Amino acid sequence: MKHTISLILLLSGLWIGLSGHFDPLLLSLGAGSILLTVYLAHRMDVIDWESHPLHFTTRLMRFLPYLMREIIIANIDVARRIVTPGKTISPRMIDVPLPQKTVLGRVIYANSITLTPGTVSVSVNRETISVHALTREAAEGLGRGEMAAAVPEDPIPERNRGGSGE
């Protein structure tokens, strides 16, 4: 039940945030579409801890400002290197240690690397992520492990979920 209520609240906030309309007609249509969506999701039995991870939401909300700051800093760095004459890049492939123990943690870390301009996750295995970095500084930053330490881990281990873990 708490997952259903939190899904209604999340969808409501998303709908209001994206539409920006507060007219009674549009609010009622939005409420109707949210209730229909939640009803269908409930009938399909897809509202659970995995599809709407309440236990993980607060950790993720603390990580997003860090990620946004890193994206902005990397955007400025890449833009500066583009407009600077001469060769200011030094592309390289590196293997970054992967300290996350859960699949969700690994996915968030690999996607965070790819979202940050100047770096792209190429492949992921249990111990490392192969990353293409545009500069030596970006590669060293990943090697220090600051982003890896900031990535939230899902507190529920895979073996307790009934899944295979991969």
Higher pLDDT, 1 or 144: 144
CA distances to 11, 18, 24, 66, 90 from 27, in Å? 13, 12, 5, 33, 52
Give domain status of residue 48, yes or no: no
Residues 31, 66, single domain; the answer is no
Share above pLDDT 70 across residues of the chain, in percent, rounded to a whole number: 88
What confidence score (pLDDT) does residue 130 get? Answer: 96
Residues in CB range of 27: below 8 A, 6 or more apart: 21
Is the Cβ–Cβ distance between 60 and 152 less than 8 Å? yes
Is the domain of 113 the same as that of 144? Answer: yes
Same domain flag for 64 and 128: yes
> Which segment of 23-27, 46-50, 81-85 scores lowest on mean pLDDT?
46-50
Closest Cα to residue 137, out of 76, 83, 77?
77
Stronger pLDDT, 53 or 21, i.e. the higher one = 21
Provide φ and ψ at 77, rounded to 5°.
-65, -45
Please count the other Cβ atoms lying within 10 Å of the Cβ belonging to residue 100.
Answer: 21
Residue 51's pLDDT band, with cuts at 50, 70 and 90, is low
Residue 46 three-state SS: coil
Is the per-residue pLDDT at 58 higher than 80?
A: no
The string of DSSP letters for 80-132 reads: HHHHSSS-----EEEEEE----SHHHHHHHHHHHHHSTTEEEEEE-SSEEEEE
Indicate if 87 and 145 belong to the same structural domain.
Answer: yes
The domain that holds 152 is classified in CATH as: 3.30.1370.10
- Whole-model pTM over 0.75: no
pLDDT in tens, 77-122: 999 998 988 878 899 999 999 999 888 889 999 999 999 999 999 9
42 pLDDT exceeds 60?
yes
If you search the block for the tokens 């500066």, which residue do you land on? 80
Domain of 123? 55-160
